[in-house]
Amino acid sequence: MNFMDLKNLEIYNISMAMGEQIWTLVGQWKYFEKDTIGKQLVRSADSVAANISEGFGRYHYADSKHFFYFARGSLYETKTWIEKAKNRNLINPEDHNALITAINRLAVKLNNFIKTTGSKFPSGQ
């Protein structure tokens, strides 16, 4: 596996796009909102792609799965921060719905990817 292969991975591309969308959204907030919820939201969203990337770069599929599980945890953390942002009127309903839809779609794809990780490799790898 190499980095060029990673760029062809759908869950990676979706998570990268989500991180950029959240970065742009949070960038429009006032200082206090950026410094509290915004930083947490951006970090959790960026962690999804980062953990997918790190897992993809591991040699043993068991190591890879650990990082894919971390990515899934970060994805659900991101969902919580999106809900908090909505509850505190930091994002409009359209952005909220779009992000939650993207997160839910990515969660299904990530879960399916985790289930198949290791099934393509000979045992012992």
Q: Tokens 């839809």 label which residue?
A: 101
- Is residue 84's pLDDT more than 80? yes
What's the average model confidence in pLDDT over 91-108? Answer: 96
- CB within 8 A of 33, min separation 6: which ones? 26, 88, 90
- Is residue 124's pLDDT more than 70? no
Contact 46/91 with Cβ under 8 angstroms? no
pLDDT tens, residue by residue, 46-71: 999 999 999 988 888 788 899 999 99
CA gap 101, 96 in Å, rounded:
8
Contact 52/12 with Cβ under 8 angstroms? yes
Question: Which is more confidently placed, 59 or 77?
Answer: 77
CA gap 80, 74 in Å, rounded:
10
Question: Which is more confidently placed, 91 or 115?
Answer: 91
pLDDT tens, residue by residue, 9-47: 999 999 999 999 999 999 999 999 999 999 999 999 999
Q: Sorting pLDDT into bands at 50, 70 and 90, what band is 122?
A: very low
pTM: 0.86
